[in-house]
A and B are shown apart, each in its own frame.
Chain A
Amino acid sequence: MGERDAVTTRGGAAPTGGAYTSPASSFGSPGPSGLAARGEGGANLADILERVLDKGVVIAGDIRINLLDIELLTIKLRLIVASVDKAKEMGIDWWEHDPSLSSRARTEVTGGGSEENPA
């Protein structure tokens, strides 16, 4: 990992090389100009939250956290998504029509209102 990897290093994982035996170092393509590189340890919090908070198996533990609370939190996080609003202004919303987007995700994208916000 001497030079900048073409692949984003996920922060948090191992200090070097990522959590996995990084294919980044083995695929050997010289960092192509258009491919964004991210510095060591610069894992994007949005990437992480999107996965650990929104994805993964949802199974009831003994601590009954109202999942709605967590979802509200993510919705709140997403409500400040300027990029979505801007993109929609420009008519760029094709991700909303992809069938693989869950209905909840779709609601988050389109539901720009604050009515779900309890506070």
Chain B
Amino acid sequence: MTEGLRYAYAVVRDTGAPEAGPDALAALEGVPGVAGEPVRAVRHLGLAVLAGDVPTEDFDEGPLRERLEDMAWLEKVARAHQRVVDTAGADSCVIPVRLATVCRGEEGLRRMLADGRERFASALDRLEGRVEWGVKVYAAPPPPEEPPAGQPPAGGRGAPTALSGRDYLRRRKAQRQAAERRWGQTEEGARLVHDTLTGLAERHRLHPPQDPKLSGESDRNVLNAAYLVRREDSAGFAERVGRLAERATGLRVELTGPWAPYSFTADDDGAGSAGADG
């Protein structure tokens, strides 16, 4: 039993209460892990790792590698992992561990804590009292084009029409120019949002724009950023995002969070590696 596989979610400070376990654990009652298992805390060296027993048929090396390529399985595990991490991190500082970190037995978890002791401790010091907010900016779709009189409505796109070649080219050019203007405004708007929020956050991190197939968003994602904000500044930050969103024309702004500080666990992340402790 003690030699079974253990899946690690996050590392927290061991608050030292002999029976109660770390604060983060209390929030996890009734929140199942990636295999539907209860999540427990294993303590070592002043740290505790939140982890659960997982079956070898899914989480041993071979099966796990195969499973990770299965999008439906990956989604299920990713959502459960995130739920555990963010629920635990609701009121206390948690350092998320990357998905699919699996150890053998509690001994393996303790070894992991020992190996990463300094990194975990410094991350806890840096991130205590902070949360991550996600902000995405989308280019709002262009207004639908009015079909010129006499033209068949859309649907016959690409079909030959009565339009002369020159008219066609002219129209294409106008469309392209309009699109370029919109893009210019979009870029400026996204920059303004980002610059403003960077000023309010301790650190920030830009993620690549999202895949519409995963996000389900058809609008173009032009900014995908994470900001590290003190818990007590969260309300103000969210409010500011709301005001930016009101002002931004042609843009749609989406705020997500608060998240556990996933994007800021590495020391060299954030607003330029030189200013990492700023």
In angstroms, Cα B246 to Cα A31, docked, is: 10
What are 26 inter-chain pairs, A to B, with CB distance below 8 A? Answer: A8-B257, A20-B89, A35-B241, A35-B245, A36-B245, A36-B252, A44-B210, A45-B78, A47-B134, A50-B207, A51-B263, A56-B99, A56-B265, A57-B96, A58-B98, A59-B115, A62-B102, A62-B103, A62-B108, A63-B59, A63-B103, A65-B64, A69-B65, A70-B68, A87-B209, A101-B206
Q: Is A100 an interface residue (CB 8 A)?
A: yes
Q: Is B12 an interface residue (CB 8 A)?
A: no
Mark interface residues in A46-84 (1 if CB within 8 Å of B CB, else 0): 111111111111111111111001100100011011111
Tell me the minimal C-beta distance from B54 to chain A in angstroms. Answer: 10
In angstroms, Cα B193 to Cα A95, docked, is: 13
- The A contact surface, by secondary structure, is loop
- Give the A-B contact count at a CB cut-off of 8 A: 265
Q: Which residues of A contact B95 (CB under 8 A)?
A: 56-57
Q: Which residues of B contact A8 (CB under 8 A)?
A: 134, 254-257
Q: Which residues of A contact B (CB under 8 A)?
A: 6-8, 10-14, 18-21, 23-24, 26-27, 29, 31-36, 38, 43-66, 69-70, 73, 77-78, 80-84, 86-87, 90-92, 94-95, 98-102, 105, 108-109
Tell me the minimal C-beta distance from A71 to chain B in angstroms. Answer: 11
Q: Which residues of B contact A14 (CB under 8 A)?
A: 87
Interface segment, B14-22, B151-159, B163-171, B231-239? B231-239
Mark interface residues in B78-118 (1 if CB within 8 Å of A CB, else 0): 11111101110111000111111111100010011001100
Closest B residue to A79 by beta carbon equals B211
Q: Is B215 an interface residue (CB 8 A)?
A: yes
Q: Which residues of B contact A (CB under 8 A)?
A: 5, 8, 11, 59-61, 64-65, 68-69, 74-75, 78-83, 85-87, 89-91, 95-104, 108, 111-112, 115-116, 119-120, 123, 131, 134, 138, 179-180, 183, 186-187, 191, 204-217, 220-224, 234-236, 238-239, 241-243, 245-248, 251-259, 262-263, 265-266, 269-273
